[in-house]
Structure 1
Amino acid sequence: MAVIYGGISNEREVSLKSGLGVCKALTEKGYNVIALEYDNHQQLIKQLLADKPDFAYIALHGRYGEDGRVQSLLELLNIPYVGSGVLASSLAMNKSLSKKHFALAGIKVAKELIVKPDEINLNRELIINKIINIFSFPIVIKPNQEGSTIGLTIAYDKQQLLEGLNTAVNFDSEILVEEYIKGVEITVAVLGTGDDIQALPVIEIVPKNSHYDYESKYAPGGSEHIIPARISKENTIIAQDWAIKAHKALGCETYSRVDFIVPEGQQPVILEINTLPGMTPTSLFPDAAKSIGLEYPDMLDRIIKIAKKKYK
């Protein structure tokens, strides 16, 4: 069993923590683990060809890991792996495209606008005025294909909007501008493939900072996870149902984690789906699994067993 971790994305540090935790837990469960730290493409290919693992656990996050590229490599090398396939991984990484699939599945999504860096360079004032005409402040600006809130800005005025656009262009060739929705942040972990899919208990996220940013996600004590979430029974059922629908809509496999915001007195609004959720000590997926009696090593063992069914 090769555990691939690290990577070359902006989420490398998170992946290192996830990967080391996965290696330790799988070793405890009796797996013969090959720890495969991914530093560059050539090195990863050489190690996979040399080690010839019978299975791979992908503990990567962000680009060149969560976006279908490593999945493509493993398929070319005929190495089975944990998690979603190439298409689902690629779709999930593209927030705007995945939201189109969610909307078709009947899941509520936030209003959005895609902006290209070239458009900003050609006529910055025109683009800013267009955004202000469509959205009310505050406005969310983020790279369309990044995770862990990297490059995200919540703009409360025109100057912050400009700064947010300038930040986001450093991370992606597409900028996603969205309406800001105030409410309770929740997440739903999903386990399963095909028709056998289970939504785990809904977790409420209470960040210590003003919003659920990178520090809130990964710093010890950065956020509080409340299980079950303090939302209505009706919205709990909807969130779990929509998490499974989102998982199916993109063709995800094995496991995922779906993030929502729940405005007061309204139904949840989907934010995004994570096909390779974080597995650090402060991560949400392990907390959800623990709430149904699955400790960290047992959770990973179950994930691997679900994944292996695909290859039988």
Structure 2
Amino acid sequence: MITAMTHVLVLAGGLSYERDVSLRSGRRVLDALRATGLSAELRDADVSLLPTLKEDPPDAVVIALHGATGEDGSLRGVLDLCGVPYVGCDARASRLAWDKPTAKSMLRDAGIPTPDWVALPHDRFSELGAVAVLDRIVDRLGLPLMVKPAQGGSGLGAAVIREASALPAAMVGCFAYDSTALVEKFVPGKDVAVSVVDLGEGPRALPAVEIVPRDGVYDYAARYTAGLTTWHAPARLSEEVAEAVASAALAAHAALGVRDLSRVDLIVDGEGRPHVLGVNVSPGMTETSLLPLAVQAEGMDFGKLLAGLVGRAVARGPG
């Protein structure tokens, strides 16, 4: 049970490429929690964090960190060591979801459709000969392709490749953000995201949000620059397709062992079939982020949802 005395620490910032977005998420989470009457403070994940956790441990932590700091499981492992409860999945599930090739393998093993792919470390790319490797990729997966970092978010380093000649430059751009590139078969269709939340009665899929970037690619600029993307919440899907999308999202959430909340990214192809692209365990909370849009479409109060998740974390305890 939580009360006005419950002390919540919101972690945001970090040192990833997504620091600015994380700070925006953290401030919005902070304001929403305070609006419910909870005592909350915002703190960066820096050298002062561990002393703070020891001297004045919070009742629960909300992780609003994006990128490796908030999503690769390492911070969650440290919170476990410190005996501090936190909202969201444990370190293991976070690690699995963070690594896209691993997550896609688990999705495929669970029978959940995901576009075909190949993961290519930079070292192998160089050792085996860039031209020969890229030729084989195009032969196997065809065109168009999606290139993105194997570990990363916010569309950083991602590119849609429609001509083979554009693939080498896309690989170089991708390797600027991660040492491994995920090259995925591009599935044309509607880009949608389904947020999954669990307030104690089992995972629940919120209305899908449809994403329509002005330039056709949902990259970093399209996500966080006003006017570059239009969102439809709920997504413009038939009832049957909306149910299939929600079922696929819930299945992906379960397959990776995620708890409390996640955002599942999908493509709905021309025949209405959903294809899961990935699962985000620390979704954005900014004014243009998809989970808050889904919460609004469901008619839920954002602050009350967060407070409910905090309550679950407090009741669950560390680990």
Interval containing the TM-score (normalised by the shorter chain): over 0.9
Deviates more, 1:57-66 or 1:100-109: 100-109
For residue 295 of structure 1, report the CA deviation from its aligned partner. Answer: 2.3
Look up the match of 1:109.
Answer: 114
Alignment-derived partner of residue 9 in structure 1? 16
Residue 69 of structure 2 is matched in structure 1 by: 64
Distance 1:76 1:106, change over 3 A: same
**Cα offset for 1:57?**
0.8
Q: Contact (CA 8 Å) 1:117, 1:175: kept in 2 or not?
A: yes
> Deviation of residue 193 (structure 1)?
7.1
Cα deviation 1:113-169 (Å, max 9, x = unaligned): 111111221211211111121122221111100111111111222331000111111
**2:100: which partner in 1?**
95
Say which SS state the counterpart of residue 220 (structure 1) adopts. Answer: coil
Q: Distance in 2 between matches of 1:76 and 1:5?
A: 20
Percent identity reads 35
Partner Cα distance (1:291, 1:230) in 2: 13
2:125: which partner in 1?
120
Q: Is the 8 A contact 2:199 2:309 kept in 1?
A: no
C-alpha contact (below 8 Å) 1:192/1:306 kept by paired residues: no
The normalised TM-score by structure 1 is 0.94
- Indicate if the aligned counterparts of 2:59 and 2:314 stay in contact, CA closer than 8 A: no
Q: For the Cα contact (< 8 Å) 2:200–2:312, is it kept in 1?
A: no
> Residue 286 in 1 paired to residue 282 in 2?
no
Instruction: Indicate how the Cα distance of structure 1 residues 310 and 259 shifts in structure 2: closer, same or farther if over 3 A, else same.
Output: same
CA distance in 1, matches of 2:107, 2:177: 24
Using structure 2 for the length normalisation, give the TM-score.
0.92
Within the alignment, does 1:183 sit opposite 2:189 as a pair?
yes
In the alignment, the residues of structure 2 paired with residue 309 and residue 5 of structure 1 have an alpha-carbon distance, to the nearest angstrom, of 23
Shift of 1:31: 1.4
Deviates more, 1:250-259 or 1:207-216: 207-216
**CA–CA separation in structure 2 for the residues paired with 1:302 and 1:193:** 6
> Is contact 2:60–2:313 with CA below 8 Å preserved after alignment?
no
Output the CA distance in 2 between the equivalents of 1:181 and 1:161: 17
What SS does the corresponding residue of 1:45 show, helix, strand or coil? helix
Match of 2:261 among 255, 258, 265: 255
Alignment of 1:237-248 (within 5 A): 237-248=243-254
What is the aligned counterpart of 2:35 among 14, 24, 28? 28
For 2:44, which of 25, 32, 37 is the aligned residue?
37
Partner residue, 2:173: 167
Aligned to 1:80: 85
| CA–CA separation in structure 1 for the residues paired with 2:96 and 2:224 | 25
Deviation of 1:78 after TM superposition, in Å, equals 0.3
Find the aligned partners of 1:193 and 1:89 in 2 and give their Cα distance: 19
Is this contact kept in 2: 1:36–1:47, CA < 8 A?
no
Unaligned 5+ residue runs, structure 2?
1-7
In 2, the alpha carbon distance for the partners of 1:161 and 1:43 equals 43
Amino acid at match of 2:242: T
The alpha carbon displacement at 1:88 in A equals 0.7
Residue 274 of structure 2 corresponds to: 268
Deviations 1:255-275 (A, max 9, x none): 011111011114111111111
Note the C-alpha offset of 1:195: 6.7
Runs of at least 5 residues in structure 1 that lack an aligned partner in the other structure: none
Q: Which moved more, 1:146-155 or 1:302-311?
A: 302-311
Partner of 1:141: 147
How many Å separate the matches in 1 of 2:237 and 2:57?
A: 47
Q: Compare 139-148 and 230-239 and name the one that shifted more.
A: 230-239
Query: How many residues get paired?
Result: 310
Q: What's the Cα RMSD here?
A: 1.7
Could you report, residue by residue, the CA deviation over 1:229-277 in whole angstroms, capped at 9, with x for unpaired residues? 1223222111111111111111101001111101111411111111111
